[in-house]
A = this chain, B = another copy of it.
Amino acid sequence: MRNQMRIAHYGIRIMSLTLTSLQNIPFIRQGDPLADILLKSLKEQSLNLEDNDILVLAQKIVSKSEGRLVNLANIQPSPRAIDLAPEIEKDPRLIELILQESNEVLRVRKGVIVVEHKLGFVCANAGIDHSNVMGEGNTNEDFVLLLPEDPDASAKKLREEIKQRTQKDIAVMIIDSHGRAWRNGTVGICIGLSGIPALIDERGWKDLFGYTLKATIVGVADELAAAASLVMGQAAEGTPAVHVRGYPYPLGEGSLKELIRPKDMDMFR
């Protein structure tokens, strides 16, 4: 890979970005050692981790390993959840969980509640997932899956475990799929990261004529999340992890907070 590098305006740029889905990730249950599972899968594919590689994980496997499954049978809907249910046409217990996971409700429509999640970002249904979810006792109808409580911390823990086992400095990113305000189709977005900045601030960079480029801050973590999401697919849970090599920016510290637009800068709430 090294011979494919060239010097560009932003330090070293690698010409090719390669995303490889990890095969043979088993069905994940609470307490499963994700670092071990990922390293085993990498080894089976003869992928040796190198410094600056990135592992991108679907939220689902992180949440499951952290025991974020909730049995709706144990949820008592509040009066507000019961009130909202006819309009949304969802189980009032699920609505209750969505409200509990959120700071604020932005919009309510049939099938969807758009909220500000407790983690700060705006999303549908507080990211609570109904698909590919099964309780430990094989009765899956009433189980839903919440997002990790602190996805940055989850990413950091995995990164450190992998560093300890491999001595490699990699980044870890946790992604989910979100809808957008004005465009059809969901896209992968970053909900937690460690070892990689979420944004690249290109303000002040010069263009080819020496003019200063204005107001360009690039959401590189979300761009990488979208790329990884493409490789993961959606419906099956067979490929919830993606190995990334050739990321064209330097790694470094980062956090989800960078990606969240402050409320007073939000024109569309």
Give chain A's interface residue range (CB within 8 Å of chain B). Answer: 35 or more
Q: Are B226 and A208 in contact (CB under 8 A)?
A: no
Contact digits for A132-165, partner B, Cβ 8 Å, 1 yes 0 no: 1010000010000000000000000000000000
Q: How far is the CB of A153 from chain B (nearest CB, A)?
A: 20
Set B17, B183, B222: member contacting A121, Cβ < 8 A: B183
Q: Are B234 and A188 in contact (CB under 8 A)?
A: no
Q: How far is the CB of A146 from chain B (nearest CB, A)?
A: 18
Q: How far is the CB of A121 from chain B (nearest CB, A)?
A: 7
Q: How far is the CB of A83 from chain B (nearest CB, A)?
A: 19
Please state the number of chain copies in the assembly.
2
Q: Are A185 and B227 in contact (CB under 8 A)?
A: no
Contact digits for A159-194, partner B, Cβ 8 Å, 1 yes 0 no: 000000000000000000100111111111100000
Q: Are B234 and A268 in contact (CB under 8 A)?
A: no
Q: Are A267 and B186 in contact (CB under 8 A)?
A: no
Residue A73 interfacial (CB < 8 Å): no
Residue A107 interfacial (CB < 8 Å): yes
Q: What's the Cα separation between A269 and B181 when bound, in Å? A: 8
Q: Are B187 and A222 in contact (CB under 8 A)?
A: yes
Q: How far is the CB of A10 from chain B (nearest CB, A)?
A: 7
B-side contacts of A213, CB under 8 Å: 131, 234-235
Q: Are B184 and A219 in contact (CB under 8 A)?
A: yes
Q: Provided the pairs A19-B16, A230-B224, A230-B248 are in contact, do residues A236 and B9 lie with their beta carbons within 8 angstroms?
A: yes
In the complex, the chain B residue whose C-beta lies closest to that of A183 is B259
Q: How far is the CB of A254 from chain B (nearest CB, A)?
A: 11
Residue A68 interfacial (CB < 8 Å): no
Q: Are A180 and B180 in contact (CB under 8 A)?
A: yes
Q: Which of A27, A180, A186 has most chain B Cβ within 10 Å? A: A180
In the complex, the chain B residue whose C-beta lies closest to that of A111 is B215
Q: Provided the pairs A20-B15, A209-B132 are in contact, do residues A184 and B231 lie with their beta carbons within 8 angstroms?
A: no
Which of A31-39, A91-99, A197-205 lies at the binding interface?
A197-205
In the complex, the chain B residue whose C-beta lies closest to that of A213 is B131
Q: Are A223 and B215 in contact (CB under 8 A)?
A: no
Question: Which chain A residues have a beta carbon within 8 Å of chain B's beta carbons?
Answer: 6, 8-10, 13, 15-21, 23, 27, 107, 109, 111, 114, 121-122, 130-132, 134, 140, 177, 180-189, 198-200, 202, 205-209, 211, 213-224, 226-227, 229-231, 233-238, 247-248, 258-261, 266-269
